[in-house]
Structure 1
């Protein structure tokens, strides 16, 4: 019995030893290994730089005769469009990790990986960071080669700016699950400001407006003295009464797969993969849920005018593989009743814009489509024009000019004569391989 007891104890301790050793088993493999930018480098990187080519365009934003074009995860191109036929690149603002922006008066707000930065753009020859809130957004990593595994990410080393393929040696067990950035995440990660002050002169007025205008794929929104930002699941609210010193009012969970934000008539409309959410801004510091329009899983930008919401649904990638269409939603009783009154098949619609009775739809690889939407029940029967063979992403219509961004670059149209819509100018993307 004593021998059996000693034997059992030896087996027990051997098992413990094996278990302990298993915790330290390593393996070598080819992996996407992170390349870091330190937090110190990140927080000293915002600056004006010489004009550069557009290579990977994302969101667009318009204010006071200037168009701001996001260079995905790198910064913002600034174009002077006061002469629409000859857009003039003015500068590039380096903002590492940037996906979205919004501008109030002369302060541009931008995400920079985990931080929110405030940038003075009153003098484009002297762009300056004037405020920063650190660590307000989730840690995010860039797109990687899916054919190879991910190496471990150490957040203490800084933000991941790119990956390099190399042999790594790591423990078998990992508990790290980062948030990944994809090109479509730019679609997920601005706002189309319907409540903006227009003025006369040039494209959008030279008198200076309070807010700029974003595209329908936006995730940033400005309302009175508040900046709203949405990510995949949460709403971030900031008080910007002091433009250079935003005050963080907190974060609230608002659902899943939030994609876009549109502010209109004291309300917030959020496009999600499962429907459109409506929030009241009566209490600005705490938007309150009112209602939801549900649809099958797909990506879902939204624009609103009067009592109608126009919603594009498209499939592909993380959006699902279900439907491509334009839905028209009638909203009544202070947005408490939402009823789909019409639905139109599309090829692969993304961003959209509405100006009076004119509806602009970026129908993916099918190009730009323009409709007379005066009768929401017969939109598909009243196509005004289309520009095929352009893979379009988002649009901003303002003062009879249409700014459009797509995979091939930037396009500017004059639609003052709907029977003769003219392409005035383009700025093509440049391949980084050239």
Structure 2
């Protein structure tokens, strides 16, 4: 009988001990990197025949061409000589690509940590002419949203590039320091023509060309290249630029950086060394910005990874660059990019469509028209037409009194 009680006590103690041990463990969704050597990665660049877009990203206009990025894969070249019937002509495969800029038939693009340069003077025979290695800190590693931690023990960013992720469920001790928050910092894990012609990107761009300089911005760092010799850019400077930077816009010798927490203003009167002027802070939200005269217009998108507050359009008075201040605010549904053309402000309100505002009085911006039957992500207001991308479609509009009329809608898939 005593043996029975002793055995029962042993079982209860064992169960209690196991329960206590289990309290020290948890199930975690862990992202494990898929790696490729930099040498192999750099050999992937090529010019191919047209192909369908998997995930349309940013748009860029240059002469009679439109460039549409395929997120992290490369750039599709669209011949827009006839806006009613645009036609994809080439695909420039650039792994790890997010942004481009073009000047005088030279296209500059990021490829993970590198800057690559293409000669596009003959669109039927595009050639890679230069690669500057390891000039960028990658700002978007495409970490799966469901990941709660990243296994960094297998990452050697000096010799490898992350090309994908595998997510597994692991049982681990709480506060196990083999895992870190899922953000990156400092390259490691942590939470010619007679007249010069430069292309134009949308409000979601991170690349800007101003005269003989290419400015690029990552999560927290600005990188400046001298492109006086267009085929052989020279890295001139790298500097801290703020935090959580998402976009960059240039106007009148100033750069305006949109971050999740505000807008930073930099002077480029000394072009090789941008000088911090001021910042305008707001609640957390995804934040592209455009500028026209004494006012900056920015959208804040709430929800998901962009913050938990409402989505709005903000008008910022920048007449005094050292003291930007909020002039007015308007509610939106799901805003992304935006653009200005004379007295018209175009706002891409995601699944709520394209919205047109009259900004003749910047302190009293008025909604004049909504094109709700389309999905919109970013716009480029050109001289004679408006380009818009959304829902894997490329839209082109002509300006008419009080709004825009559709020229063409082109499926990118």
TM range (shorter): 0.7 to 0.9
Query: In the aligned structure 2, how far is the partner of 1:30 from the partner of 1:269?
Result: 37
Any residues of structure 2 matched to 1:158-237 within 5 Å, and which? 158-164=160-166, 174=178, 179=183, 209-237=196-224
Matched residue, 1:203: none
Deviations 1:237-260 (A, max 9, x none): 111111122211232112211111
Distance 2:388 2:137 in 1: 30
- Measured in 2, the distance between the counterparts of 1:274 and 1:141 equals 20
Residue 315 (1) aligns with residue 302 (2): yes
Offset, 1:119: 1.2
C-alpha distance in structure 2 between counterparts of 1:111 and 1:178, whole Å: 22
Match of 2:188 in 1: none
Query: 371, 378, 395: which is aligned to 1:387?
Result: 371
- In the alignment, is the contact (CA less than 8 A) between 1:56 and 1:429 conserved in 2? no
Matching residue of 2:21? none
Measure how far apart 1:145 and its partner are: 6.0
- Residue 217 of structure 1 deviates from its aligned partner by 0.7
Tell me, yes or no, if the aligned pair for 1:62 and 1:213 is still in contact at 8 Å: yes
- How many pairs align? 375
2:357 matched to which residue of 1? 371
Specify the SS of the correspondent of 1:284: coil
Map of 2:408 onto structure 1:
425
Moved more, 118-127 or 385-394: 385-394
Query: What TM-score, normalized by structure 2, do the two folds share?
Result: 0.83
1:397 is aligned, of 381, 384, 389, to: 381
| CA distance in structure 2 between the partners assigned to 1:177 and 1:149 by the alignment | 6
Distance in 1 of aligned mates of 2:39 and 2:278 = 43
SS at match of 1:42: helix
- Answer yes or no: is 1:266 the counterpart of 2:253: yes
Could you say what secondary structure the match of 2:204 adopts?
coil
Q: Residues 153 and 331 from structure 1, CA distance in 2 versus in 1: closer, same or farther, beyond 3 angstroms?
A: same
SS of the aligned residue for 2:143 comes to coil
- Structure 1, residues 205-242: CA drift from partner, whole Å, max 9, x if none? x9875211010011111111111111111111111111
In 2, Cα distance between the equivalents of 1:149 and 1:279? 35
Deviations 1:278-310 (A, max 9, x none): 111111111111122222222221111111211
Contact 1:293 1:338 in 2 (8 A): yes
**Deviation of residue 164 (structure 1)?**
4.0
Measure the CA separation in 2 of the matches of 1:120 and 1:86. 25
Relative distance call for 1:36 and 1:418 in structure 2 (3 A) is farther
Q: Report if the CA contact (8 A) 2:149-2:179 is conserved.
A: no
Q: Normalization by structure 1: what TM-score?
A: 0.79
Instruction: Note if 1:61 corresponds to 2:60.
Output: yes
Q: Is the 8 A contact 1:46 1:128 kept in 2?
A: no
Note if contact 2:207-2:215 (Cα within 8 Å) is conserved in structure 1: yes
| CA distance in structure 1 between the aligned counterparts of 2:116 and 2:182, rounded to whole angstroms | 23
> Counterpart of 1:407?
391
Structure 2: runs of 5+ lacking an equivalent: 1-26, 186-192
| Matched residue SS, 1:347 | coil
Partner of 2:131: 132
**Partners of 2:145 and 2:317 in 1: CA distance:** 43
Contact 2:237 2:272 in 1 (8 A): no
Query: Among 245, 256, 266, which residue is 1:279 paired with?
Result: 266
2:102 touches 2:198 (CA, 8 Å); kept in 1?
Answer: yes
Q: Secondary structure at the match of 2:39?
A: helix
Using a 3 Å threshold, how does the CA distance of structure 1 residues 170 and 41 change in structure 2: closer, same or farther? farther
Q: What is the root-mean-square deviation in Å for CA atoms of aligned residues?
A: 2.7
Unaligned runs of 5+ in 1: 1-27, 182-205
- By how many angstroms is 1:341 displaced? 2.2
Moved more, 28-37 or 421-430: 28-37
Q: What residue in structure 2 maps to residue 24 of structure 1?
A: none
Alpha-carbon contact 2:55-2:392 (below 8 Å) kept: no
